Structure 1
Amino acid sequence: MFKKVSQSVVFRISVMMISVILMAFTSIFSAMYMSQLSEFDGAAINLSGSMRMKSYQLTTEVALYQQTKQQSHHQTVLTLIDEFEHSINNPLLQKDFSLEQLTEQKYDYNQIKVQWQTTVKPLILKALTQESVSPVIAPLTEFVTSLDNLVRGYQGIFEKRMATLRLIQISTLFITLLFVCLCLYSIHQHIALPLKELTDVARKSAKGDLTQRFTVIREDELGLLAATFNNYNQRIARIYGDLEQRVERKTQELKRSNQILTLLYHVAQEVNESHAGELNYNRVIHQVSEVSGLSNIDLCLLTPEGDVPYQHIVTETDRTASQNCEQKNCAECLSGETAVVTLINQQQVLQHRYAIEKSGLHYGVIVVTLEPESTMQLWQQQLLKSVAEQLALALSMRSQSDQQRRITLLNERSIIARELHDSLAQSLSYLKIQVTRIQRAISDYPEDAKLTSPVTELKEGLNSAYRQLRELLTTFRLYIDSEGLQCAVLQTMQTLAQRSNIDISLNYKTAHIPFTPNEEIHLLQITKEALQNALNHSQGTEVSIQFTEKEDHKVEVTIADNGVGLDETQQELNHYGTVIMQERSHSLGGEFLLANRSEGGAQVTFSFYPQYLKS
């Protein structure tokens, strides 16, 4: 505690002030003391000097009395003797005799007093009765000499005391000056310099340089102030750094939010402007990866009826696929739940899945595969959810647009079928009736090949045209509802199966492919035409229909029977409706093949690339 107090600036300054005051008091008190000692030194000198004067007066008065014998001189001698005794016994001459250093002066005084009492006084009194003063002169001279020594002694004492006073004053002044210099040096070293450094640090800190620190380590008030200032600077710098980090973090968040909003705005704008939900999904998912900072993102697009994606977009081509992707097991991902999955290299990673669904229909899923020891932040999850919602909206709009186009196309075909039925079909029916009447009319005449042959050919041509027209009307009246191509093919199979005993099977493996309404119509018509030909001409017992997807995403449709096969020599282009099927295949940019099977029967093969691959 005392050490702490002794190192205080206030304590040091107080000590300095008290020391200066003590030195001043010492000088004052020493002067007062010496003045007190020398208070009656002048009186003692004067008194001893008056005694010497009285000695001379005594000699003079004794001599005058011996010469004149006047009684007044006698009386004066006695008076002078009394005054001398009163003077010699005055306490002023003995006031400092108790001091050891005045032993010699005391001895001189006592000798003079003894000499007065034993020698000088008796001689003077005796000389009053004698005629001559000569016996008194020599002792009185010696006595005056002793008085002179006593006077010089008192004067020496006074001078010595004055010299001591001067020495004390000079010493005190010198010590005071020295102490003041020491105090000034101490103040300069321990107060002024630290204050200057502290002021410089404060001034630089006020200008924004918070790296400044007070380097002097002290345990006084300035040390406490410096430590507090250092802590203050450190805390301010830390707060300032934290504020800068927070501002930087907020700036990054604002930039990220701006990027997210820009991305979502562009996606929404593209969706709205397309009017059919058509998007560049590859570009969108790569932009999402760039904005979110997530490198391994999968976008799997499915049809509502499919269980495997028709389009699989990845942002990291050299990634290690999961076992689910390798095994085409998409059901777990479509659940939209976060799960730990195993990669094909047996490494386990965390996957976040965001289902792309709207109105209960699943259109796909966004899968984010995280690196080990990493997690997704909240804003990244929100971004993926928003993108999934936008993609769901786009795909829903595309599905609705396809359905609308499908309905519009079917309505147009129904209108065409009705108009054909009301115009061309009626005309052909009328011509058939007229040809029948002509046949009946010429039957009453002898047969003439020149007459009957053209009529027969005309009837067959009309029957063929009418049959083709009826097939065309039936084709135009085909209906594909919102359940898709597979349901329409099944309905067609059920309708045609009622007209024959042939067993019809369907292997439909393209439910995941988003066919356009035009593609669905052409595929259904080709399938119906080929199936109808097999039922009418194959003479077999089984017909199989297969819809498959090749590794290059090419769709292949095959209709095969186990019947008699095709007549290789038959060259009629319009036989079995092959021309119509070829035209439909060409309109889709596909390839059409009609051939016999090695195991017996005929097979129609049609392959093409769907429209979604081209977009």
Structure 2
Amino acid sequence: MSVKRSVTTTIARMLIAIVVLSVLSTGLAIITLIASRTDAEAVNISGSLRMQSYRLAYDLTTNSPDLEEHIRQYDLSLKAPALAEFKRFYSPSDIQNEYRLLLERWSLLESELKGNRPENYINQLSNYVKQIDNFVLSIQRFSEMKLRVAAGISIISFLLTIGLVFYIIHFSRRQIVEPLNRMVHASHYIQTGRFDHPPLDVELPNELGVLATAFTSMSTDLAKLYQSLAEKVAEKTLKLTQANRSLGVLYDCLQALSVSQVDRQCFEQVLSIVRNSENLVTIRLEVQDSGEGRWVLVEGTEDKNRDWQYLTLEQNEQQLGRLSWQCSDTAVHPQLIENVANILSRGIYFNRAQKRYLQVLLMEERATIARELHDSLAQSLSFLRIQLTLLKRTIPSNNEKAMSVISDFDQALSSAYRQLRELLATFRLTIQEADLHEALNQLIVPLQGQTTASIQIHCALSSQSLNAQQQVHALQIVREAVLNAIKHANATLITVNCDSAPNGNNMIIITDNGTGIKSLDEPEGHYGLNIMSERASRLGGTLNIHRREEGGTSVCLLFPQQ
């Protein structure tokens, strides 16, 4: 925006106008005073002409010898420079005419005086004096008129000067002071962070208009910048708040999983924390085993009108399961849910590793017991069998009573030895897989080599529903049931089915299509069924063995989840 009327130029012009007006008024006053400098002299000389006229009349009547001198003086007075000024062009025409008439009348009277005709002079003297009085009066009026003109010029100059001063004050207030006050007021608004200040006068054609335009533009830019910064601060604050809340949620989740034994309750607590924090409708955790086993935890009630969102749980490039949720009206923070998924993945992985570790400890403990039994009790039983054989050779064969006792002792010793071998075989079972399906496969592989029957496994039971001790006992029961089917059933198909019962308990069923069990009473020297029942009791469950109507035997193990 260009400056059309500069404030400094306008004020300078007004000041120059005041100076010019002062110079003009002062000059006119000075000129008037200069023009009036001979007015008093002219009045005095004019007034003296009356006295000299009467003196000439007196000299004429008395024949005074000074008549010639007085005529000469009168002529000098009438033609004095003060009176000669009235002959100039700037003198009023009436004064010029009267002065010209006085000169003409004096020339006539002078001729009468020099002709010594006193009567004519005296007769004309009265009119001549009146003419002089009129001339003096005109001079006086002209002098007064000049004084009035000088006074008028001074008054007008004073009034004009006062008017210009008031106009400059009004102009300064309207064009300078008020715009500056508005800018100061607007600057106070901006200092307090408010950009809705009263509008400035940007239409002014001077520097302040340019300044107001620049100030308004700057204020608008500052408002946009301030709003942008406020939005960024609010956005950063929101992000920090979300990050802080996310850290709190993650901390609570880690605390829930930072226990000595990670179990179902820990994962349920994590799901509850996430659901309450993110205001989710429902959240579900599905853990996938290598088989068909699924472990599902649900927090909240499913809304069929809302869509599910999914996130895969992975650890060490191994798919562990899936985390799914239903959002409410607000969207879930993506980074938070990813971190929760990572925590759950690590928790599941740690749960399996912990279970594997405990299972290995149990297996090592059982292997230690097996070695102790083999090194102590097995060696003792072998020694007794050797000694019994030597005893048989020493006692005559016709000693029936002694041979009967030895035969009973040999049978009991053989039964004890057989039972010990079964215990050693049981204790030497080495299963190191925490996954139930993989553990069953590892268990069945060596048994499959002992029979031509087909052994099939169907595992829909989640590994997380069993702890390490439960899994070891369950695997021992499965092994014993499969071995019984291999040895005694003469079956062609053996199936192992692991699933959840309708009441939520774990259920393992081993069936075969063989001859079927004849009785639940074990033969003398066999303890497999009793050991299986004892193991089921330790699991807090029940063991049901019965003959199938379609043929074969069914062994059903029911026990609660961990």
* Counterpart position of 1:168: 153
Structure 1 counterpart SS, 2:4: helix
Match of residue 197, structure 2, among 184, 205, 213: 213
RMSD (CA atoms): 4.1
* Counterpart position of 2:350: 397
Contact 2:49 2:74 in 1 (8 A): no
User: 2:485 aligned with 1:534, yes or no?
Assistant: yes
Cα separation, 2, equivalents of 1:228 and 1:17: 29
* Counterpart position of 1:95: 88
Structure 2 counterpart SS, 1:480: coil
Match of residue 113, structure 1, among 103, 128, 133: 103
Pair 1:460–1:105, CA change in 2 (3 A): same
Structure 1 counterpart SS, 2:545: strand
* Counterpart position of 1:464: 415
- Shift, 1:203, TM fit: 4.7
* Counterpart position of 1:25: 23
* Counterpart position of 1:34: 32
* Counterpart position of 2:120: 135
Pair 1:309–1:44, CA change in 2 (3 A): farther
Pair 1:609–1:196, CA change in 2 (3 A): same
Letter in 2 for 1:171: I
Cα separation, 1, equivalents of 2:291 and 2:372: 38
- Shift, 1:136, TM fit: 1.9
User: 2:109 aligned with 1:151, yes or no?
Assistant: no
Pair 1:73–1:111, CA change in 2 (3 A): same
* Counterpart position of 1:356: 314
Structure 1 window deviating more from structure 2 (593-602 vs 9-18): it is: 9-18
* Counterpart position of 2:364: 411
Contact 2:60 2:67 in 1 (8 A): yes
Cα separation, 2, equivalents of 1:309 and 1:582: 27
User: 2:72 aligned with 1:79, yes or no?
Assistant: yes
Query: TM-score normalized by structure 1?
Result: 0.76
Letter in 1 for 2:270: V
Structure 1 counterpart SS, 2:551: coil
Cα separation, 1, equivalents of 2:169 and 2:398: 159
Give a deviation string over 1:247-278, Cα, whole Å, max 9, x none.
44444444444444455556556666638799
Structure 1 counterpart SS, 2:8: helix
Contact 1:563 1:602 in 2 (8 A): yes
User: 2:443 aligned with 1:444, yes or no?
Assistant: no
- Shift, 1:155, TM fit: 1.2
- Shift, 1:594, TM fit: 0.8
Contact 2:419 2:526 in 1 (8 A): no
* Counterpart position of 2:113: 124
- Shift, 1:134, TM fit: 3.0
Letter in 2 for 1:559: I
- Shift, 1:511, TM fit: 7.1
Cα separation, 2, equivalents of 1:413 and 1:139: 179
- Shift, 1:167, TM fit: 2.1
* Counterpart position of 1:302: 288
- Shift, 1:89, TM fit: 11
Q: What are the residue-to-residue correspondences of 1:369-408 with 2, within 5 Å? A: 380-381=334-335, 383-408=336-361
* Counterpart position of 1:280: 266
Pair 1:91–1:500, CA change in 2 (3 A): closer
Pair 1:110–1:308, CA change in 2 (3 A): farther
Cα separation, 2, equivalents of 1:79 and 1:152: 25
- Shift, 1:604, TM fit: 0.6
- Shift, 1:49, TM fit: 3.0
* Counterpart position of 1:339: none
Cα separation, 1, equivalents of 2:281 and 2:216: 46
Cα separation, 2, equivalents of 1:90 and 1:493: 160
Structure 1 window deviating more from structure 2 (406-415 vs 214-223): it is: 214-223
Q: Determine which structure has greater relative contact order: mean sequence separation of CA pairs < 8 Å that are 6+ residues apart, divided by chain length.
A: 2
Give a deviation string over 1:291-314, Cα, whole Å, max 9, x none.
6777775543334x3466423445
Give a deviation string over 1:141-183, Cα, whole Å, max 9, x none.
2112111111111111111111122122223323333443344
* Counterpart position of 1:325: none
Letter in 2 for 1:108: E
Cα separation, 1, equivalents of 2:213 and 2:362: 87
Letter in 2 for 1:116: W
Match of residue 14, structure 1, among 6, 12, 15: 12
Contact 1:354 1:384 in 2 (8 A): no
Pair 1:517–1:188, CA change in 2 (3 A): closer
Q: What are the residue-to-residue correspondences of 1:508-523 with 2, within 5 Å? A: 508-510=458-460, 512-514=462-464, 515-523=466-474
Cα separation, 1, equivalents of 2:462 and 2:496: 17
Match of residue 511, structure 2, among 555, 560, 585: 560
* Counterpart position of 2:532: 581
* Counterpart position of 1:546: 497
Letter in 2 for 1:32: I
Cα separation, 1, equivalents of 2:444 and 2:184: 99
Pair 1:47–1:574, CA change in 2 (3 A): farther
Cα separation, 1, equivalents of 2:409 and 2:130: 198
Pair 1:562–1:105, CA change in 2 (3 A): same
The percentage of counterpart residues that share the same residue type is 27
Give a deviation string over 1:385-428, Cα, whole Å, max 9, x none.
54444444444433333333222222221221222233333444
* Counterpart position of 1:104: 94
Letter in 2 for 1:425: A
Cα separation, 2, equivalents of 1:539 and 1:89: 173
* Counterpart position of 2:60: 62
Give a deviation string over 1:324-350, Cα, whole Å, max 9, x none.
xxxxxxxxxxxxxxxxxxxxx8x988x
Structure 1 counterpart SS, 2:315: strand
Match of residue 428, structure 2, among 467, 477, 482: 477
* Counterpart position of 2:373: 420
User: 2:19 aligned with 1:5, yes or no?
Assistant: no
Contact 1:356 1:366 in 2 (8 A): no
Q: Would you say how many aligned residue pairs link Structure 1 and Structure 2?
A: 558
Structure 1 residue runs of 5 or longer lacking an equivalent are: 321-344
Contact 2:315 2:345 in 1 (8 A): yes
User: 2:38 aligned with 1:49, yes or no?
Assistant: no
Structure 2 counterpart SS, 1:416: helix
Contact 1:299 1:367 in 2 (8 A): yes
Pair 1:209–1:64, CA change in 2 (3 A): farther
- Shift, 1:477, TM fit: 1.1
Contact 1:54 1:84 in 2 (8 A): no
Cα separation, 1, equivalents of 2:314 and 2:31: 111
Pair 1:585–1:199, CA change in 2 (3 A): same
* Counterpart position of 1:317: 301
Pair 1:561–1:279, CA change in 2 (3 A): closer
Structure 2 residue runs of 5 or longer lacking an equivalent are: none
Pair 1:354–1:19, CA change in 2 (3 A): farther
- Shift, 1:222, TM fit: 3.7
Contact 1:493 1:504 in 2 (8 A): no
Letter in 1 for 2:365: E
Cα separation, 2, equivalents of 1:497 and 1:87: 168
Letter in 1 for 2:194: L
Letter in 2 for 1:362: Q
Structure 1 counterpart SS, 2:311: strand
Cα separation, 2, equivalents of 1:406 and 1:292: 37
Letter in 2 for 1:513: S
